[in-house]
């Protein structure tokens, strides 16, 4: 997949069929839109292009209420490449972009340098300063700028809930610890990435060493608790793991943030300084305070057994 940035704007060699959005999570709904883009592009002899942003636009427009991210840029580009799209245009979204009118946005971002022939967007698509533009205004612009608009219906959830698949619904599921539901909406287990850092090494002293993973503040995390998941290291080796996300009430009286720790099954070695990927595949239990180390050890052994039973 070709990645086109503001600094390296290699114009596509062919006209384009494009779609645009934050594409946070690259979930099943996003995948369906991209599939339609690719199908149209193939039938027209065009290049398929996703136009997305280097950060969530809300982090610039309304930073006080911007959503936490489901995917960082690295993972988003990997997931977009996996859809088979020909190119991704990554737009640097700043205050200048946020102030663009709908017409300016269409001319510079949606048309500029892409030879756009068709734009495929969801029915609820909005763009431009204060979300002034919508599918109707985009269609009107297309009559003058030489492209047509193909709106697509939002993909319904498959679990009977009367709402479409969306990044918002995935965040809501994660907030409730419903990682299996989030995985169904994403089309894969929810994953977090970060660097393994030094912790207080309490897990090692009680026989259950953990990898402490530093998660950027911008990223979305599930509810505090213990989960069955998988740990993928820099060499792409995968280990089953018990994931503890929380504030460690057995050891810490008050903590202002949650920590992510993963106990890898059937592993020994040094992980410090490495980049890690951790998936959340099943909620096992809520975090709680134990009255002593022995009861904690017993519970951790039960957690590990539950991980094996769940993932084996």
The predicted pLDDT at position 249 comes to 47
* Residue 150 CB partners (closer than 8 Å, separation 6+): 36, 40, 118, 119, 120, 121
The predicted pLDDT at position 208 comes to 76
CA separation for the pair 152, 148 (Å, rounded): 13
Domains of the chain by start residue, with CATH: 2-152 (3.40.50.620), 190-311 (2.40.30.30)
Please give the chain's pLDDT, 312 residues, in tens.
999 988 776 666 789 999 999 999 999 999 999 999 999 999 999 999 999 999 999 999 999 999 999 999 999 999 999 999 999 999 999 999 889 988 888 888 888 788 899 999 988 888 888 788 888 989 999 998 899 999 888 888 877 787 889 999 999 999 999 999 999 999 999 999 999 998 665 655 555 778 899 999 999 999 999 999 999 998 999 999 999 998 764 555 565 677 899 999 988 788 888 999 999 999 999 887 667 677 778 888 889 999 999 998
The predicted pLDDT at position 286 comes to 85
- For the entire predicted model, the pTM comes to 0.90
Going by DSSP bridges, is the β-strand pair 47-53/16-20 parallel, antiparallel, or unpaired? parallel
Cross-strand pairs, 164: 156
The predicted pLDDT at position 122 comes to 83
Are the CB atoms for 230 and 284 separated by under 8 Å? Answer: no
Q: Is the dihedral of CA 36, 37, 38, 41 positive or negative?
A: positive
């Amino acid at each position: 997949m070709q990645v086109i940035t503001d600094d390296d704007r290699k114009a596509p060699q062919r006209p384009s069929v494009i779609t645009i959005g934050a594409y946070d999570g690259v979930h099943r709904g996003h995948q369906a839109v991209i599939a339609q883009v690719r199908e149209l592009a193939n039938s027209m002899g065009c290049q398929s292009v996703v136009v997305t942003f280097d950060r969530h636009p809300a982090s610039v427009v309304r930073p006080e209420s911007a959503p936490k991210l489901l995917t960082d840029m690295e993972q988003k580009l990997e997931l977009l490449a996996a859809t088979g799209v020909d190119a991704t245009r990554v737009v640097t979204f700043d205050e200048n972009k946020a102030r663009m009118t709908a017409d300016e946005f269409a001319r510079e971002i949606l048309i500029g340098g892409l030879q756009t022939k068709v734009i495929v967007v969801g029915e609820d698509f909005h763009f431009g300063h204060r979300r002034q533009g919508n599918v109707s205004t985009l269609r009107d612009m297309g009559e003058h700028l030489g492209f047509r608009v193909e709106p697509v219906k939002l993909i319904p959830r498959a679990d009977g809930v009367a709402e479409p698949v969306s990044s918002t619904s995935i965040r809501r599921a994660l907030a409730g610890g419903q990682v299996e539901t989030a995985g169904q909406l994403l089309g894969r287990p929810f994953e977090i990435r970060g660097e393994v850092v030094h912790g207080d090494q309490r897990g090692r002293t009680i026989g259950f060493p953990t990898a402490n993973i530093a998660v950027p503040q911008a990223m979305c995390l599930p509810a505090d608790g213990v989960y069955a998941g998988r740990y993928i290291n820099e060499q792409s080796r995968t280990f089953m793991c018990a994931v503890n996300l929380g504030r460690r009430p057995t050891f810490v009286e008050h903590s202002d943030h949650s920590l992510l720790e993963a106990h890898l099954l059937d592993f020994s070695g040094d992980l410090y300084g490495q980049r890690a990927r951790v998936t959340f595949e099943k909620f096992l239990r809520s975090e709680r305070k134990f009255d002593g180390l022995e009861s904690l050890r017993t519970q951790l052994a039960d957690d590990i057994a539950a991980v094996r039973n769940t993932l084996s």
